[in-house]
Structure 1
Amino acid sequence: MIPGAREDTMRLTVADAISPSYFVAIAAIQLGFFQQEGVDMEFVFSPPNPSQALKDGTIDFFGGSPYTGLRTFPGWRGGVLLCALSHYTYWFLAIRSAATGATACGRIWE
């Protein structure tokens, strides 16, 4: 857990915070779209190994390529590919399957 973070706050990071490829994930937080859906989400800058941080629960969502985001999940078991971040792209948002509220978050992208 990130020091100072509330326990019910979910944490999202992206592979590259200055890339337009991931802008939509960061903008969704800043514009309050998660909050409108009842999800308390904060953006955190990517740790050195985001796949491991996803696996150990330091972060709850990772915006990036599926092969990077799920690298530490053997056979991708324990992680979930959730959605494409933009139209006609091969980048996905990966979450831990055990993340609290993960199923509730799915309705955001329905």
Structure 2
Amino acid sequence: MLKIELYNPELDKVETFTEGFVSARALRRVIEFGVKQETEVMNELEQLDELVALVASLFRSEKVNFDTIYDGIASDKIAEVLSGILQDVLGGEAKKKKAQMELAKVTE
């Protein structure tokens, strides 16, 4: 499950958004982003913009988008929040694989 907390300046409060289902396509986009970072030269602004767009695409809520992420996360927390979400996508897959391997051992 993915979770992001965004400050809403219009309501002067923090709103929490969750995404219970993370598709294989979402995992692919996260891996693709990692490959692109390793193989292409991007400046910090380009990297951050692509990361924000990627994270926004992982949530189905229209309230989680490029602008609300930039406006709703403190500057000193944005890297931590966004990388945490990517780790949740990647980690979720790793946990599934481990569980499948454990199940395979039991059923052999």
Shorter-chain TM-score above 0.5: no
Greater relative CO (CA pairs within 8 A, separation 6+): 2
More strand by share: 1
More helix by share: 2
TM-score, length basis structure 1: 0.25
